[in-house]
Structure 1
Amino acid sequence: MMRAVIAGPDESGLGSALETEGVETTRVDGIASRPALEDAGIHDADLFVLTDVRQATAIAVGKDVNPGLRVVVYDENTIPEFARGQADLIVDPNLLGADAVAEELAG
């Protein structure tokens, strides 16, 4: 079973859409610090979904803990340049809905 850790608010419902596709999801409450990511299971996750680019430093932390992690940024705001190269997929929720993104990620 695929596992995803989601950090940031999820107004677009990507977490629910991933669960519908059979992905086990865990959410980070608050700031996505290393301890919070570890508590959420980032070690065993296949995906790290970031929905708040203001927490972009969490991408480097997630990749440090789990080098094979696929990172998806799902936010309408622009990701900072320092984190852009570490993200595997950057999607604006205004351009592609949560159901379509979840289907692609789970498939």
Structure 2
Amino acid sequence: MDVIVAGADDDGLGTALEAEGASITRLEGVISRPQLENAGIVGADLYVLTDTDQATTIPIVCDLNGDLRTVVYSRDTVPEFVRGQLDLAVDPELVDAAVVAEELID
């Protein structure tokens, strides 16, 4: 499974996904459409966003890859404008990264 993790991965979901066998590409800072394309979003299976300040990337990745699953793993509230495009939003304080990774890979 090819996964793009966008944002600081302070809670370790990217690491947990790697432990489950996923191939991880990491993006940080202000993320643009060209960066997403260069990271391989068109062929990715999963997009994990850990920084809700970068929520505008969700519609972009959905536009670039209609088969992509989108996940927000953050303590912050997901903006209303992207909620309809998310497959899953999880608060790390409620569910451990290892549990989320296992469910996403299965």
TM-score under structure 2 length normalisation: 0.97
Give the CA deviation at 1:29.
Answer: 3.0
1:1-107 aligned at under 5 Å gives the runs 2-107=1-106
Give the CA deviation at 1:40.
Answer: 1.0
RMSD of aligned Cα (Å):
0.7
* SS in structure 2 of the partner of residue 10 of structure 1: coil
* SS in structure 2 of the partner of residue 73 of structure 1: strand
User: Which runs of 5 or more residues in structure 2 are unaligned?
Assistant: none
Amino acid at match of 1:58: T
Structure 1 runs of 4+ aligned residues shifted over 3 Å read none
Listed one character per residue, the Cα deviations across residues 9-41 of structure 1 (whole Å, up to 9, x for unaligned) are: 100010010000001010113222101111111
* SS in structure 1 of the partner of residue 11 of structure 2: coil
Give the CA deviation at 1:69.
Answer: 0.7
Amino acid at match of 2:97: A
Listed one character per residue, the Cα deviations across residues 34-69 of structure 1 (whole Å, up to 9, x for unaligned) are: 011111110110000000111111000001110111
Amino acid at match of 1:89: L
Q: Matched residues in 1 for 2:70 and 2:6: separation?
A: 11
Determine what percentage of the aligned residue pairs are the same residue.
57
User: Which runs of 5 or more residues in structure 1 are unaligned?
Assistant: none
Q: Matched residues in 2 for 1:27 and 1:40: separation?
A: 8
Are the aligned partners of 1:59 and 1:86 in contact in 2 as well (CA < 8 Å)?
Answer: yes
